[in-house]
Chains A and B, each alone.
Chain A
Amino acid sequence: MDRLWILLLLTLALAESSIYPRGLFINLHNGELCLNSLQCKSCCCHRTKGLGLARCADKAAENQECSLKSLYGVYYKCPCERGLICDADRTIVGSIVNSDFGICKDPSNKISNEKEERKKHGD
């Protein structure tokens, strides 16, 4: 019901959009209400709780918590910035409840770390 209201209001706001030069449905700024990450400039539509409203937010920086890309298009933890990978395992339950959480890592660092670890085990 909540969601429906928001959708209705968003449509009304869209009807007014000619007054505002900025996007009301796409190209949204951080902090603006969204339904899908495609709407956001930052490409992350973020909410804290399942029933909470989603707002555009910055993508996660290195060493911050993140989610793997999901089909829902709305995240509890934003995906990583460019060049970073979200170090998490994709699980079936996780993909359904949208909780494939991990930490953003630089792939080049990760490879060198793994090499070091292998060396240690080799000794």
Chain B
Amino acid sequence: MLVFWTTLLLLLVAVKGKEVCYDRLGCFTDDIPWSGTVERPIARLPWTPQEINTRFLLYTKKNYDNFQEITAINPETIDYSNFNASKITRFITHGFIDQGEERWLSDMCKRMLQVEDVNCICIDWVKGSRCAYTQAANNIRVVGSEVAYFVNILKEKYGYSPSMVHFIGHSLGAHAAAELGRKIKGIGRISGLDPAQPYFQGTPPEIRLDKNDAEFVDVIHTDSAPVIPNLGFGMSQAIGHLDFYPNGGEEMPGCQKNPLSQIVDLDGIWEGTRDFVACNHLRSYKYYSDSIIFPDGFLGYPCGAYNLFEKGSCFPCPAVGCPPMGHYADRFKDSITSQFTKLYLNTGEAKNFTRWRYKSSVTLSGRSSVWGNINIALYGSGGNTRQYEIFKGRLRPGEIHTNLIDVELKVGTITKVKFLWNNIIINPTLPRLGATKITVQDGETGNVFHFCGSETVREDVLQTLTPC
């Protein structure tokens, strides 16, 4: 009997959990669901705010190149800085191992300041991020509270509305939003850039980023394969109002390079090494960064699954339009529903990552059927594209081949289309093939363009089709 009671007591003590309290920020416990669950087996308490040393680095139009460090503990620093209380404030947070003075954060600020006048604040918590993952996953709670404290001070000092706050977090940083959203109601927008998967996927909403944390939550998933065995670092679960899955959300183009080519990167060895370790995971902020400059280059097509999107079942955009992934996703703030919206799109393999989707069908003509492939190039007011393969295989006259292409520029009004085919197997009979009709549909507007041609051409000769 004594043994029974002792075990029960011990179990109770184990279940009870520990708690730490920090002035300004409040208490943090390691009770269920914060640890002791299947998703979070190891219990860790967040470090002290001093140890984590959350720093706020402000960039504005006035100080474009160098940041001003401000802190809510000494609110005078905000007065002395270039902070403008009548402008929107965007916070950018890094994730595990990363630091706030990393190039991508300031580059993102600079891009924003090119297109708008905002207070762009990079949050640095490097001292709390370079430790064991389980520890960092808990330290992020302190970071979130620090942001909440900062926003509260702004509210007291300037009557600053939380609806003017936009919080952008990459990886672990995205989950700081949980604490922020819990402490302050009515945050304008939270953008999760590939929110971290281990210790967060499948957990209750109070632990992780969730759609209730802000008025508008948009998420970009770029590395959503499972950690075991694929080593995906990002969440696959839809957790925002809008969830974007570029390239299906698991494997990003340009991330399958051989190790040498990956590390010896165009942007330097450091950027290359980062990509070598977590290319897919880091793509999320690269897409976001590009989207600041190209508002319509990342349109997300609402769809049930990626394979349906690839098949063309979700083409073109619905009448209300496609929400743009990244910076301008909040244009669709008013049309959000209570359900999760999954959006799919394809991107390029290197910057600029922008792509525009078109659907085209080609009607073949000619006399003989051959093994080969057919390509088309679009010409329009926005310029002309490269040649894109529509079909590869047996080419039979009279057949219609339809395919979707993601082209590298916005063609605008299409004025002509060029058709080209070539043999796969060398064919000594010198066959001729042509396209009698090509229709091209613009994914963004849904406009359909028709083009006709009468001639046939030999392989590797361009045939021009004109509107009809």
Report which A residues bind B (CB closer than 8 A): 6, 9-10, 13, 20, 22, 24, 28-33, 53, 55, 58-59, 61-63, 81-84, 106-109
Would you call B163 an interface residue if the criterion is a C-beta within 8 Å of the partner chain's C-beta atoms?
no
B: contact size bracket: 20 to 34
Tell me which residues across on chain B come within 8 A of A61, comparing CB atoms: 377, 384-387
Which of B261, B379, B418, B460 has most A Cβ within 10 Å? B261
A30:B350 contact, CB within 8 angstroms: yes
Tell me which residues across on chain B come within 8 A of A13, comparing CB atoms: 258-260
Give A59 to B422 CA distance when docked, in angstroms: 16
Number of A-B residue pairs having CB atoms within 8 Å of each other in the complex: 70
Q: Which of A20, A24, A82 contacts B460 (CB 8 A)?
A: A82
A9 in contact with B260 given A61-B387, A84-B462, A108-B464 (CB within 8 Å):
yes
A53 in contact with B264 given A62-B384, A81-B387 (CB within 8 Å):
yes
Q: Which of B261, B418, B422 contacts A33 (CB 8 A)?
A: B261
Tell me which residues across on chain A come within 8 A of B386, comparing CB atoms: 58-59, 61, 81
Would you call B20 an interface residue if the criterion is a C-beta within 8 Å of the partner chain's C-beta atoms?
no
B350:A106 contact, CB within 8 angstroms: no
A62:B460 contact, CB within 8 angstroms: no
Beta-carbon nearest neighbor of B261 in chain A: A32
Please report which residues of chain B, range 298-324, place their CB below 8 angstroms from some CB of chain A when the two chains form the complex: none
Give A32 to B258 CA distance when docked, in angstroms: 7
Beta-carbon nearest neighbor of B375 in chain A: A82
Can you report 17 A-B residue pairs in the complex whose CB atoms are below 8 A from each other?
A: A22-B256, A22-B258, A24-B258, A30-B350, A32-B258, A32-B261, A33-B260, A53-B264, A55-B266, A59-B386, A61-B384, A61-B385, A62-B377, A82-B422, A107-B462, A108-B461, A108-B462
**Chain B's nearest CB lies how many Å from the CB of A55?**
7
Tell me which residues across on chain A come within 8 A of B385, comparing CB atoms: 61
Would you call B143 an interface residue if the criterion is a C-beta within 8 Å of the partner chain's C-beta atoms?
no
Beta-carbon nearest neighbor of A84 in chain B: B462
Q: A31-B349, A33-B264, A83-B461 are in contact. List 12 more A-B contacts (CB 8 A).
A: A6-B264, A10-B260, A22-B258, A30-B350, A31-B254, A32-B261, A53-B264, A55-B261, A62-B379, A81-B386, A83-B460, A84-B462
A32:B420 contact, CB within 8 angstroms: no
Tell me which residues across on chain A come within 8 A of B377, comparing CB atoms: 61-62, 81
